Chain A
Amino acid sequence: MEKIELTKALAQGQQMLAEVTHESGGVRASKCYQCGKCSAGCPVAFAMDKTPREIMRLLQLGLMEEALKSHTIWLCASCDTCSTRCPREVDIAKVMETLRIIAKKKGYVAEKKLDQFHDLFLKSVERNGRVYEMGLVLGRNILGMQPFKDVELSPAMLLKGKLALLPHTIKDNGEVKKIFANVRKRGGKV
């Protein structure tokens, strides 16, 4: 990390904190007093480049870009352990979710495979109304350049009737497609 002039960063920070609060529907990262309980209990902390506590501190210091470029915001599994335990009642998982949405808009995607998975998932929902798991797994393997991932599980899944070969499309007169379209009309990036 390069040298940073904190006075300037802190001034910018107020604006960024306000943006996160607005985008997350009222979560205030400024309330965090850095106890680290979130990071102690986080089941994915072992794989993160910055702990959840560090992400909160970056936001408080106005170093939003650092937070947006981290792998942490993508690796968060949204299990809500941190939010449940936070003594300051900060919904940290919601902050991670919000940072991810902002990062994607700005074109920072530190974890491409995870991002691709979610895009494929939503495409499947928009197209069929439901998730088509077989298509999702195939798409994930092709885009992720790992064509044989989990291939050992497939025959057993088919035999057990756990993988459908064709997608299940619902007859909803395009209602689900309309939901996506209406969200886009309101500025949603999906």
Chain B
Amino acid sequence: MKYAYYPGCSLSSTGIEYDMSTRKVAKALGVELWEIPEWNCCGASSAHLTDHLLALALPARNLAIAEEQGLDMAIPCAACYVRTKATEVEVKSSEEMQKTISEVIERKYTGQSRARALLDVFVNDVGLDSINALVHKPLKGLKVVSYYGCLLVRPPKYGFDDPEDPQSMDKLVEALGATPVDWAFKTECCSGAHAIAKSEVGLPMIEKILAAAKESGADCIATACPLCMCNLDMRQGQAGSKFGRSYNLPVFYFTELMGIALGIKPEELGVNKHFVDASGIIKKLNEAEGRRETA
């Protein structure tokens, strides 16, 4: 199983642990990731608000490079995924669009190479049974709310999962031995870049999601998007102090939870880079593991 890997800009800075854990987990699962050489920014989320053609052209260059290799793209970031998918769908929709895009990027892209979300690749190509068979340290007793965010499963025509009540991440954490917790905020928007540019709008949106996660009784949140992670993890303190609450809710990329269950050391996955300390959860899992071994 081989894919053209598109990390995207966030995964080399604020979302570095998503990149670290993706590479480690893919290797453990036998998935080969060929990083697109000299990939460029997909333009999310600014290009599509500025110019439609630019928004379609930026991801097209990356798709064209993947297509030369005959590979589909595996994309961890939900925003990069949806922008790249939009290009693939538009190019497939008409020959005229294909011609226009190829002229703008000065490369050939025919729509052969597809944009795939990393979660989709792991759950549907590798498969839950194969993942479950590789679990060394089941995440027993860990209650997880899966947070898909807005871009991973929308619009429905691109989706690999239900746009209102998606299941793939819930099933994945279950395959890792954890307990998925149902909640109503699976696809609620975290405010995206508003938290950076206009925090008086962004922080209340973040707060609602954190409050719902806390009320569900979950120990932690699983996410698949570096911007969601930034908002829920890095800004958890800001959101808490604005509303006079303390959540203390660790947030993990789903790939980090996979890595822990597969027996990879948390530091190698970047878990120590979170703002909300996740070491309490790791310790609890290790203690439970120790008890099982001695029993």
Contact = CB atoms under 8 A, between A and B. Distances in A.
A45 to B, nearest CB: 11
Given A78-B48, A130-B41, A179-B61, A163 B13 contact: yes
B51 A183 contact: yes
Given A84-B156, A113-B197, A190-B50, 15 more contacts: A23-B52, A43-B205, A81-B189, A91-B155, A101-B52, A113-B198, A119-B50, A122-B50, A125-B41, A131-B41, A161-B16, A175-B106, A176-B58, A179-B54, A179-B105
Contact of A101 (B40, B50, B58, B105): B50
Interface string A75-114: 1011111011000000100000100110010000001011
16 contacts: A75-B194, A80-B151, A83-B155, A97-B48, A101-B49, A114-B197, A125-B47, A130-B9, A134-B13, A156-B275, A163-B13, A172-B40, A176-B40, A186-B53, A188-B53, A188-B54
B104 A80 contact: no
Interface of A: 23, 25, 43-44, 46-47, 75, 77-81, 83-84, 91, 97, 100-101, 104, 111, 113-114, 116-119, 121-122, 124-125, 129-131, 133-134, 137, 140, 144, 149-150, 153, 156-157, 160-164, 168, 170-172, 175-176, 178-180, 182-183, 186, 188-190
Nearest to A153: B234
Contact of B192 (A79, A97, A153, A157): A79
Interface residues of B, number: 56
The 4 closest A-B pairs by CB, nearest first: A79-B150, A79-B189, A118-B46, A121-B46
A182 B105 CA distance: 8
Contacts of A130: 9, 40-41
Interface of B: 9-10, 12-14, 16, 38-41, 43, 45-54, 57-58, 61, 103-107, 150-151, 154-156, 163-164, 187-189, 191-194, 196-201, 204-205, 208, 234, 272-273, 275
Q: Is the interface of A mostly helix, strand, loop or mixed?
A: helix
Contacts of A140: 196-197
B9 A170 contact: no
Contacts of A149: 199
A80 B40 contact: no
Contacts of B164: 84
A139 to B, nearest CB: 11
A23 B194 CA distance: 25
A53 to B, nearest CB: 18
Contact of B38 (A44, A161, A170): A170
A46 B12 CA distance: 34
Nearest to B79: A78
B191 A77 contact: yes
Given A77-B189, A175-B61, A179-B54, A131 B156 contact: no
A137 B234 CA distance: 15
Contacts of B16: 160-162
B9 A133 contact: yes
Contacts of B187: 81
A46 B50 contact: no
A77 B194 contact: yes
Contacts of A119: 46, 50
B15 to A, nearest CB: 8
Contacts of A175: 40, 61, 105-107
A43 B103 contact: no
Given A183-B53, A188-B53, A117 B46 contact: yes
A131 to B, nearest CB: 4
Given A77-B192, A176-B40, A46 B154 contact: no
Nearest to A42: B189
Nearest to B14: A162
Contact of A43 (B53, B189, B275): B189
A189 B49 CA distance: 11
Contacts of B13: 133-134, 162-164
A44 B41 CA distance: 27
B252 to A, nearest CB: 15
Chain A CB count within 10 A is highest, among B41, B45, B57, B191, for B41
B239 to A, nearest CB: 13
Nearest to A131: B9
B10 A133 contact: yes
Contacts of A47: 200-201
